Amino acid sequence: MSASEKTSPAPVLVTARDVHKAYGDHEVLKGIDMDVRVGETVVILGPSGSGKSTFLRCINHLEAMQKGSILVGEEQVGYVWRNGTLYRATPSQIARQRRGIGMVFQQFNLYPHMTVLQNIVEAPVGVYGEKRGEAEAYAHMLLRRVGLSEKANAYPRQLSGGQQQRVAIARALAIRPRLMLFDEPTSALDPELVGEVLATMRDLAQSGLTMIVVTHEISFAREAADRVIFMDGGRIVEEGPPGQVLVNPSHPRTRAFLNRVI
């Protein structure tokens, strides 16, 4: 259910305005503006070092930005707006604000000392106080959804890369997020394992989850994205529906990039 198919547009979930981020003198984000609507799948493309990961990590405040604002719903992760003043949030407030945002990493980052099931229920039970029985039932449901029901008691290292990444997706879904962030989820995988992860992600996109996906997989952008954003040098260079940005890009740098990756 892409946003463009609807008669009245879905409400906006993510609002980024003039996001700036620098490491020392090195300006990585030079004013990013972005709106993502509920149910939309946005794919961010761009050359390595263009600031894609940094922008994703600013959304859930894994990185602090220096200027601008990002709102996810009414929440601004890392900050609390009270009586016309913006306060920096305390660590426990930040932890609570992250509840609605699931994240999937390039290197999976599963907890290697825990089984698949323990990985999935760790945050719901330990952080958000769900009952263990309910969280485990939901975890088994998610494992079925990513096609790994029989792996609940395996340790991550006993799984292939593609299976690990699908567990990582289930782990992120377990906190019942309204926004999912994917940072190059297939870049660490052997080529023959990329497909199974992309298929899982396509299912999620079709189910109406709001997703922001950084990837180099043009095929995924073409088939699953509602909108493609091309970043270069810390700026958004071009954005639009995949049929336009991928097929008939207007900016020469987009064209150069697409020529290289396809």
Ligand X SMILES: Nc1ncnc2c1ncn2[C@@H]1O[C@H](COP(=O)(O)OP(=O)(O)O)[C@@H](O)[C@H]1O
Span between the terminal Cα atoms of the chain, in Å = 27
Q: How far apart are CA 87 and CA 78, in angstroms?
A: 9
Q: How many CB atoms lie within 10 A of CB 104?
A: 24
Q: Are 29 and 234 in contact (CB under 8 A)?
A: yes
Which lies closer to other proteins via its Cβ, residue 187 or residue 244? 187
Which lies closer to ligand X via its Cβ, residue 53 or residue 97? 53
Q: How far apart are CA 9 and CA 11, in angstroms?
A: 6
Residue 260 binding result from ligand X, other proteins, Mg ion, none, given CB thresholds of 5 to 8 Å by partner type: none
**Binding residues for ligand X restricted to 5-34, rule: CB under 6 A:** 23, 26, 28
| CB-based contacts of 5, cutoff 8 Å, min separation 6 | none
Does residue 41 belong to the site contacting Mg ion (CB under 5 A)?
no
Does residue 53 belong to the site contacting Mg ion (CB under 5 A)?
yes
Q: Are 53 and 214 in contact (CB under 8 A)?
A: yes
Does residue 152 belong to the site contacting other proteins (CB under 8 A)?
no
Which lies closer to other proteins via its Cβ, residue 171 or residue 227? 171
Residue 50 binding result from Mg ion, other proteins, ligand X, none, given CB thresholds of 5 to 8 Å by partner type: ligand X
Q: Is 122 exposed, middle or buried (0-12, 13-18, 19+ CB in 10 A)?
A: middle
Q: What is the dihedral of CA 23, 25, 30, 32, to 10 degrees?
A: 20
Dmax over Cα atoms in the chain, in whole Å? 54
Find the part of the chain contacting other proteins (CB under 8 A) among 26-34, 44-52, 109-117, 140-148.
109-117
Q: Are 235 and 251 in contact (CB under 8 A)?
A: no
Which lies closer to other proteins via its Cβ, residue 175 or residue 221? 175
Q: How far apart are CA 102 and CA 182, in angstroms?
A: 9
Strand partners, 30: 20
- # residues contacting ligand X (CB under 6 A): 11
Which lies closer to ligand X via its Cβ, residue 117 or residue 245? 245
Q: Minimum distance between the CB of residue 241 and Mg ion, rounded to whole angstroms?
A: 24
49: nearest Cα among 188, 189, 232 = 232
**Binding residues for ligand X restricted to 44-83, rule: CB under 6 A:** 46, 48-54
Q: Minimum distance between the CB of residue 97 and other proteins, rounded to whole angstroms?
A: 8
Which lies closer to ligand X via its Cβ, residue 184 or residue 226? 184
Question: What are the residues binding Mg ion (CB under 5 A)?
Answer: 53
Q: What is the binding site for other proteins (CB under 8 A)?
A: 60, 62, 91-92, 95-96, 98-99, 101, 103, 105, 107, 109-115, 122-123, 126-128, 154-158, 171, 175
Binding site for ligand X (CB under 6 A): 23, 26, 28, 46, 48-54
